[in-house]
Amino acid sequence: MTRGADLLVLGGGIAGCSAALRAADLGASVVLVAKDDLGGTNTSWAQGGIVGQAPPEAGDSPTLLASDIESAGAGLCRTEAVRLLAEEGPGLCRSFLWERLGVPFDLDGNGAPAPTAEAAHSARRIYHAKDATGLAIQSALNEAVRRHPNIQVRERLCLVDLITSPHHCVNPVRVYDPIRVHGAFLFDPATGEVEGALARRTLLATGGLGYLYLHTTNPPSATGDGLAAAYRASARIVNCEYVQFHPTALYVPGKPRTLLTEALRGEGAHLVNRKGERFMAKYDPDHLELAPRDVVSRAIFQEMAVSGEASVYLDLAPLAARLDLDSHFPTVMAACRAEGINPHHQLIPVVPAAHYFCGGVLVDMEGRTSLPGLFAAGEVACTGVHGANRLASTSLLEGLLWGFRGAEAAVRELAEAPLSEPGELAQWRKPEEPEPTDPLLIDQDWGLIRSTLWNYAGIVRTGARLVRAKADLHYLNHRIERFYHEASLSRELLELRSGILCARLILNAALQNPESRGCHYRVD
């Protein structure tokens, strides 16, 4: 066991880095753990923007922003969380990201961030850094985190489990204690060792789980590690059926999907079939390509089902006539060119892809989970802001705000937070004679999880498909758990163990909820 910091932050995206910086600014000692190099996060992959402050003439207000968020959330948003985000988020975005960290947002003629319009937002309030907003934010956060004397960054470590009492205590009498989180077991793939990292408070910011689906806009590291660990530690988890699909990811057979930002449709790109015919008028004649994400995703799914084609297409010709595509969308253009597609002359093949997990570890307005000692922020957490469907460009803001608030609440609690005595907590136990891990088995298991969720718990769901998926993954879960206890640990095995558990959480929630709402759509 390593005697730890005041705050252990698990995850280095916008939520984790903001929490680390805020706690460190308040004088706490912080250890920030990243699964990859700092910056290898879903935040870095976010092309679209972040809700910022609209100029006075835009006629925006917290009430208007809250109403846009609630319309997207399909009646399931938590009012106090939405209000908090709408009132405090945009100002924090401007003061912390732009004024303090100097994130290079696109600027207006006066040198201030130039908010843009976006589908389903009633005012021009979105800050962009071209089509690589997340990367710009992450780079600025990395620099600040690395410079801060109170933050120790530890990279390439995988979360195995949260350390909880009484579960990990050697003293059997502790069984009567309430559950409390004391840190985390971390696996170092370079040494093959597991270390117990103790801390007075722990904040989960491990991101989402898009990799559980065959098609996703998320990086392969988005395997739900934090959600799975929190569930095993018995934290309250909610809304797991609400997985948001982004309508347009670049489709190239055999290659990972790449997000093609919604801003393309916001600027006028059309969705067409192989013959070049627009089809959104059949599904939402009022909003066409700017209909809510779930509507557009289902329309594409339906078009693909009817035509038997593997994708539909995005046509950038209407934009190319007005905009310099290379300067407005450098990330999109580079991704297309890398696949030999020239969007000036060719249609871009697209499919919907799992994009954002709206459920998660339930937290209060200060990021507290149901487990004492544990906070959560960002995609792993469920604040209730997104309800059953997330409004675009709100997730980076939510991660920032709850990262801040979680850190502030954790630091306030430090006065009455003694560090657990390492002697009372059990050491990590390795299997005596571990089996070697077989990469082929792991790949095969991932294939099964990802295709099962995509086909049976994806954009369109039925009870029969969900029941079938649950049965298939129940057996796989049994095999993976056995393997986990007998094999030598590896990052791949830990991720697979997280993946199968999170898949089952999604399936159980989807089965228990017969009502179509937001991004949980059942045709039965």
CB of 328 to ligand SIN, least distance (A): 13
How many other C-beta atoms can be found within 10 angstroms of the C-beta atom of residue 325?
A: 18
CB of 213 to ligand SIN, least distance (A): 15
Q: Which residue from 244, 212, 506 is spatially nearest to 391, judged by alpha carbons?
A: 244
* Cα 236 from Cα 410, distance rounded (Å): 19
Sole residue written with tokens 């129940």: 474
Angle, in degrees to the nearest 10, between helices 463-486 and 491-512:
150
Stretch that binds ligand SIN, among 67-75, 260-268, 282-290, 304-312 (CB under 6 A): 260-268
Site string for ligand SIN, 34-73 (x = CB under 6 A): -------------xx-------------------------
Stretch that binds ligand SIN, among 81-89, 149-157, 258-266, 486-494 (CB under 6 A): 258-266
Largest CA distance in the chain: 73
Give catalytic status of residue 257 as yes or no.
Answer: no
Closest to ligand SIN by CB, 5 vs 82, is: 82
Is residue 289 a contact point for ligand SIN (CB under 6 A)? no
Please enumerate in sequence order all residues whose Cβ is within 8 A of that of 306, keeping only pairs 6 or more positions apart, or say none: none
Is residue 392 a contact point for ligand SIN (CB under 6 A)? yes
Output the CA angle 225-372-82, nearest 5 degrees. 75
Stretch that binds ligand SIN, among 222-230, 257-265, 489-497, 514-522 (CB under 6 A): 257-265
Is residue 261 a contact point for ligand SIN (CB under 6 A)? yes
Q: Tell me if 304 sits within 8 A of 274, measured CB to CB.
A: no
What separation in angstroms does the CA of 332 have from each of 47, 219, 357? 9, 16, 23
Closest to ligand SIN by CB, 163 vs 392, is: 392
* Cα 336 from Cα 332, distance rounded (Å): 6
Closest to ligand SIN by CB, 53 vs 395, is: 395
Select from 42, 53, 258, 395 the one that contacts ligand SIN (CB under 6 A): 395
In DSSP terms, 520 is beta-bridged to 517
Is residue 262 a contact point for ligand SIN (CB under 6 A)? yes
Please enumerate in sequence order all residues whose Cβ is within 8 A of that of 399, keeping only pairs 6 or more positions apart, or say none: 13, 14, 15, 18, 43, 205, 377, 378, 379
Q: Tell me if 470 sits within 8 A of 511, measured CB to CB.
A: yes
CB of 275 to ligand SIN, least distance (A): 26
Is residue 389 a contact point for ligand SIN (CB under 6 A)? no
Closest to ligand SIN by CB, 138 vs 261, is: 261
Is residue 383 a contact point for ligand SIN (CB under 6 A)? no
Judging by beta carbons within 10 Å of its beta carbon (0-12, 13-18, 19+), is residue 303 exposed, middle or buried?
buried
Angle, in degrees to the nearest 10, between helices 491-512 and 225-232:
70
Q: Which member of 78, 293, 390, 522 is catalytic?
A: 293
SS3 state at 79 = helix
Please enumerate in sequence order all residues whose Cβ is within 8 A of that of 494, keeping only pairs 6 or more positions apart, or say none: 158, 159, 160, 187, 225
Select from 393, 420, 452, 498 the one that contacts ligand SIN (CB under 6 A): 393
Q: Which two tokens stand for residue 321?
A: 């006539």
Closest to ligand SIN by CB, 116 vs 202, is: 116
CB of 196 to ligand SIN, least distance (A): 36
Instruction: Report how far apart the first and last C-alpha atoms of the chain are (Å, whole number).
Output: 51
* Residues 125-184 contacting ligand SIN, CB under 6 A: none
CB of 262 to ligand SIN, least distance (A): 3
Please enumerate in sequence order all residues whose Cβ is within 8 A of that of 444, keeping only pairs 6 or more positions apart, or say none: none
CB of 392 to ligand SIN, least distance (A): 4
Count of positions on this chain that bind ligand SIN (CB under 6 A): 8
Q: Which two tokens stand for residue 198?
A: 């103790």
CB of 263 to ligand SIN, least distance (A): 6
Is residue 267 a contact point for ligand SIN (CB under 6 A)? no
Closest to ligand SIN by CB, 200 vs 386, is: 386
Residue in the shown chain whose Cβ atom is closest to ligand SIN: 48
Closest to ligand SIN by CB, 126 vs 511, is: 126
CB of 71 to ligand SIN, least distance (A): 15
SS3 state at 249 = strand
Please give the residue ranges that form the binding site for ligand SIN (CB under 6 A): 47-48, 261-263, 392-393, 395
Catalytically annotated residues: 293
